[in-house]
Structure 1
Amino acid sequence: MSTNRSSDPLLPTETLELDSGLSLVPRFKLNLTVHRVDASVKPLDEWQLKRSLIDFLKASFSVIVPEEDLHVRKFKDINKRKREDPVARGKLFIRQLGFLSTSSEDQEKKVSEWKKKVVAKIDGIELSLVGVKFKLSVEIPQSDDFEAMRKEWEENSAFHGGDRGYSGYFRGRKREPDTIVLRGVPSRWFAETRVSSKPSMLVTHTIFSALGKIRNLDVAEDDGIRKDTDEDDEDIVPGLQCKIAVRFDDHSEFCKALKVLCGRSLQKEGSRLKADYEVSWDKDDVFRNAKSQPEQNIRSMPKIPTGNYRNEGARYQPYVPRYSENNTRSKRFKV
């Protein structure tokens, strides 16, 4: 089910249609860690592990997971690792969540309970792969857990006090974040079509306006979500992904946007690729710290023809979002 409604809350199993042919589609992500159980030093058979886990999910939850949605990476030099050290890590994506759809107001609770049930049943299971036993540990990543992130910033506020709060809040008031940071999205999806392959501030602003009223925005190239250095990994091609920081008008707008981004992937119409990004709240005060470095904000601001200036020299100005009752984006929703 997809929606672009302006006022209704977005349910956990619904898809949100964005601009530029993009959409946020629901998915359930689990981080996997594999340990040895016995004293064997035989290498992990990744294919056997995938088949065993896929069969287990089908038998236990009637969930079919395609092989491409289960990623396993072995660590290097596993023969030299201590017995208690993991031998591999992985990621599991369950994308077919339609069976959890319901018109009931309890859908959010139902989905949450089902996810906890899956974690409880998979975590700690032992798999015998070609005569070698391995133990599987699973957890929901914090970037997919809105309540875990809320708890983190509330604890941060309690321990660090209000004097270090974000701009826009009075001294002594609790620290409430208003900025999300998104990593692991294709740069070309946020670029101007047939103009450049680099992400555009204007295109990015248009896309994220569907999540709430934006105060500030920054887009930069990203070399990819860094993985464990001991992990067998593919080469990362610089420039293919971008890192996006979006500062919303206030804390409530930020919360609504973050909750929608949690537990979803970005998909583009006509593409088979799904961007399984990571989202978090800004712990580094990106825009506040940038005040001492004004050139940092300018570097990614495109020059946009305004067309309403009296002289030619003033026609091109750095793009600064402006809002009024007439031009505020209508794709808004409550959480």
Structure 2
Amino acid sequence: MGSADRFDSVSPIEPLDIENGLTLLPRVRLNLAVHPASPAQTKPVDDWQLKRALLDYLKNSLSVSLAVPEEDVDVRRLKDLKKRKRDEPLASGSLVIRDLGFLKETKRSSFDEDEATKEGAVRILEKKYTEWRKYLVGKMDGLELNFGGVKFKLSASLPASDDFEGMKKEWEEHFAFSNRGGYSRGGRRETDTIVLRGVPSRWFAEPRVSSKPSMLVTHTIFSTFGSIRNISVAEDNDFGQDKDEDAGLVSGLHCKIVVQFEKFKDFHNVLRVLCGRSMQKQGSRLRADYEVSWDKDDFFRSSRSQNQDKPLEQHDRGEAPRRHVSRYRPEHSWPKRFKE
């Protein structure tokens, strides 16, 4: 089995080590929002009471008791209720459940089992994982909360970036009904590019050289998943601004990575593996709850067009390109002007 093929059968509830000391950790994440039970109600919700109520509910009211750390429930109330629109929530945030060991009933497959048996066990786990996640959303969405006689209603939903099947349906419909598309092979249009946001820049930087994300390091990490056609990595100062608009985010904390794979299968596997996981660096306590999606905007085609349309005088001034795009030529291929 090739290095990229091993991602065909990755358990959704076990950590996955990749390159450069990085590990993908399984999790279930939900987006949460709290609305007043009555539209006329404008009383704010207490952050502490809300968090305690959610933690108690997870521990005592589900089919499995979940002891979730406080830091994995992040719900913040709206700061200025006077500016709140009628349909806006009083508070919003997220819930992350990281310990999913209860979903696994059987022991790890032994090394003498054939690949079909291992893949079958993984598919069973994937089904259980998906069904339990759906169960959790169903239990929490619409939950009524009562604090001191004041009633609120909780909304819970799965983030689009954690819903692999939802994204798969989306890109299949996109390429079925649109002339736009990603890489075409054999007359069939299909996407092949992932977009990753919310990972720390320093984890993709060259140690003791720079804190900025490195093209070389990023390529080394993602080439684990398959052959790369194009790759881009740049600082992403817009990520997290809505959440931390008053926190004074330091520029360059996060980076945005766009990777185009040679094969659709590799794209499919890496997106499936990245969905529903957090990233952690060896030696760090930080867990990055990133966002991953497929490329809807033809990123590399747009980048080439922008470079072609750039005025000549801009190049003369020595301005650096805003996007770092690199195309990797397959081995043993030569420029057309040379003969083999």
Q: TM-score category by the smaller chain? A: 0.7 to 0.9
1:1-58 CA-partner distances (Å, limit 9, x unpaired): xx99936610111211111111111010100111001444322111110110011001
1:107 and 2:120 correspond? no
* 3-state secondary structure, aligned to 1:19: coil
Change (3 A) 1:196 1:167: same
1:244 pairs with 2:247? no
1:65 aligned partner: 68
Structure 2 letter corresponding to 1:196: S
Matched, 1:186 2:187: no
Shift of 1:293: 3.6
Q: Deviations over 1:130-187 (max 9, x none)?
A: 33211001011110011100111111122213xx3324446xx443110000000100
RMSD in angstroms over aligned alpha carbons?
2.7
| 1:125 corresponds to 2:135 | no
Which residue of structure 2 lines up, in the alignment, with residue 165 of structure 1?
A: 181
Equivalent residue number for residue 165 of structure 2:
147
Contact 1:165 1:174 in 2 (8 A): no
Q: Which residue of 1 aligns with 2:44?
A: 43
| 1:235-314 to 2 correspondences below 5 Å | 235-294=248-307, 299=321
Gap regions ≥5 residues in structure 1: 303-317, 326-335
Does the CA-based 8 Å contact 2:230-2:326 persist in structure 1?
no
Q: Which runs of 5+ in 2 are unaligned?
A: 109-120, 311-319, 333-340
CA distance in 1, matches of 2:305, 2:50: 51
> TM-score under structure 2 normalisation?
0.81
Amino acid at match of 2:102: F
Aligned pairs for 1:84-99 (under 5 A) are: 84-99=87-102
Q: Deviations over 1:259-313 (max 9, x none)?
A: 00000011011111001000010011111222224489x84899xxxxxxxxxxx
Count residues with an aligned counterpart. Answer: 302
Secondary structure of 1:284's aligned partner: coil
Partner of 1:305: none
Q: Distance in 2 between matches of 1:250 and 1:176?
A: 10
- Alignment pair present for 1:52 and 2:53: yes
Change (3 A) 1:7 1:222: closer
**CA gap 1:182/1:7 in 2 versus in 1, 3 angstroms:** closer
**Structure 1: 4+ residue segments shifted above 6 A:** none
1:12 partnered with 2:12: yes
Per-residue deviation, 1:98: 1.3
Q: Distance in 1 between matches of 2:34 and 2:7?
A: 43
2:248 corresponds to which letter in structure 1?
D
CA contact (8 A) 2:232 2:326 kept: no
8 Å contact kept, 1:71–1:92? yes
1:198 matched to 2:201? The reply is no
Segment drifting more, 286-295 vs 246-255: 286-295
Contact residue 28 and residue 98 of structure 2 kept, 8 A: yes
- Letter matched to residue 243 of structure 1: K
Q: Which moved more, 1:190-199 or 1:61-70?
A: 61-70
SS in 2 for 1:199: coil
Q: How far apart, CA to CA, are the structure 2 residues paired with 1:153 and 1:232? A: 32
1:42-87 Cα distance to aligned partner (Å, 9 max, x none) = 2211111011001100112311111111111222322443554311
Q: Specify the alignment match of 1:312 in structure 2.
A: none
For the residue of structure 1 that corresponds to 2:154, the secondary structure is strand
TM value normalised by structure 1: 0.82
> Cα–Cα, structure 1 residues 256 and 8, in superposed 2: closer, same or farther, change >3 Å?
closer
